Amino acid sequence: MIPVTGFEGAKVAVLGLGRSGFATARALREGGAEPVCWDDNPGARARAEVEGFVCRDLLKAGAFDDIASLVVSPGIPHLYPKPNPVIRAAMVAGVPVDNDIGLFFRSVATRGWERFDQAPRIVAVTGSNGKSTTVALLHHILQEAGRESQLAGNIGRGVLDIDPPGSGGIVVLELSSYQTDLARALTPDVAVFTNLSPDHLDRHAGMGGYFAAKRRLFAEGGPDRAIIGVDEDEGLYLAGQLAEASSDDRVIRVSASQKLTGPGWQVFARKGFLSEYRKGRQAASIDLRQMQGLPGAHNHQNACAAYAAARALGLAPRLIEDALASYPGLPHRSQTIATHAGVRYVNDSKATNLDSAVKALSAFDNIRWICGGLEKDGGLEALRGQTGKVRKAYVIGREAAGFAMQLDVEAEVCITMAEAVARASAEAETGDTVLLAPAAASFDQYDNFEQRGEDFIAEVAKLRG
């Protein structure tokens, strides 16, 4: 646990008692604060009271009179589409609003670090797609190198629930736009921006607000080294904003679509090969094509970002290459779960937006595509012209018929995962890939994308039963 500092003897309100909320309350108490908790769910409040936490309705008059700060769980909107009533009440009362990420950055460094041979370092990764794979891949590389590494944030453990890092220890954080948007402290040693595509636009009032939330990771604290995906204009702009000159190697530019040139530090992937250039000279080259845990150009972008972060932390190219080759992949992200009768079954349930689905569709051939779910803002126009490798789509979800009508490929309305897997497998031929890449959120039928992926895995398992 990371005890929260700076609130000794003060009352701090905690709104939302999910995983991060409970970890925050415990870390505040460990640091000498008095947590005051609230959640609309009576069951969550009951669990908090069992742990000895005080619960208070934060919408009652005077609820913030003795509160020093309000700490908010990431899923609770603080501004758009409109502020949660509790958060608005705090703002009206002049009470600062923060989240667990902000508390982590203000609390993780302690005087004990002065005794370490090497100070711990924090790597934070944000972007639209590939964050989870990038951080998991970097964590794997560090572990293979024998370095102390902990994975936290939007993946793994809550940031305040991890162990205090030891000498030379590294904490690898996945941070969503919800987390970077509100944190009052953001001071990583290495910050990574993977890419940007439309997502969560209602929460950020459009693409400008969405990018601004991501940009805060680089603008607020000024990382020692920034790794920027430059395949979109926003990444190009961000890299230009951070670099003092084209040769400034505090910025490492990353691409999965183009060769990068110039006197600076670049890492890019082309035709399945990762290349590192520095000061105009090639420093390393790695063949990614046969690495089973990293299929497709989108995973090659993730490999470039993780490779660049590992290099920024001082690891040698050959060591990183060996670790990339042994990376097993993450569940629900281009995860091959079975090969049956010559047909490959791939679970990419995490492909919840159009951009991630397009990348999944480009990674495989002869695709029987299972898609559909809770459609996000903007429709499916971005999928047009991207389905050349798709033999047929099998559409799930409560609005499957409407979803199917927007596709530019033959589509069958299946509604349920069971029907989609059964129909796709019945029609699949040797050499085909049955790919779950929904291009939609899961909440019309499932609690989360993980549950949707597990349902796919279960239905595929029945084919062998």
Question: Looking at domain 11-98, what is its CATH homologous superfamily?
Answer: NAD(P)-binding Rossmann-like Domain (3.40.50.720)
- 108-325: CATH number: 3.40.1190.10
Using alpha carbons, list the distances in angstroms from residue 88 to 84, 193, 253, 378.
6, 30, 39, 29
Residues making up the annotated binding site are: 127-133
3-class SS at 186?
coil
Reply yes or no on whether the pLDDT at 96 is more than 90: yes
pLDDT range class, residue 282, cuts 50, 70, 90: very high
Adjacent-strand bridge partners of 180: none
- H or E element, residue 137: helix 131-144
- Positive or negative torsion for Cα 270, 273, 278, 280: negative
Q: Which of 332-336, 337-341, 415-419 has the highest mean pLDDT?
A: 415-419
**Phi, psi (5° rounding) for residue 447?**
-75, -30
Report the pLDDT value the prediction gives residue 256, as an integer from 0 to 100. Answer: 94
The pTM of this model reads 0.84
pLDDT range class, residue 200, cuts 50, 70, 90: confident
CATH domain 335-464 topology: Protein-Tyrosine Phosphatase; Chain A (3.90.190)
β-sheet with 335-340: strand ranges across: 335-340, 343-347, 433-436, 367-371, 390-396, 411-415
Closest CA to 362 of 437, 292, 309: 437
Are 11-98 and 335-464 equal in CATH topology? no
Q: What percent of the chain has pLDDT over 70?
A: 100
- Positive or negative torsion for Cα 80, 85, 86, 88: positive
Report the pLDDT value the prediction gives residue 465, as an integer from 0 to 100. Answer: 62
Residues making up the annotated binding site for ATP are: 127-133
- Alpha-carbon span 396 to 415, nearest angstrom: 4
Report the pLDDT value the prediction gives residue 201, as an integer from 0 to 100. Answer: 85
Segment 234-268, tens digit of pLDDT: 999 999 999 999 999 999 999 999 999 999 999 99
> Is there a contact between 95 and 162 (Cβ–Cβ < 8 Å)?
no
Reply yes or no on whether the pLDDT at 40 is more than 80: yes
Reply yes or no on whether the pLDDT at 464 is more than 90: no
Place of tokens 């003795």: 66
Report the pLDDT value the prediction gives residue 114, as an integer from 0 to 100. Answer: 93
Report the pLDDT value the prediction gives residue 101, as an integer from 0 to 100. Answer: 97
Domain residue ranges in the chain: 11-98, 108-325, 335-464
Amino acid at 431: G
- β-pair type (390-396, 67-72): unpaired
> What average pLDDT score do residues 442-453 get?
94
Segment 117-156, tens digit of pLDDT: 999 999 999 999 889 999 999 999 999 999 999 999 988 7
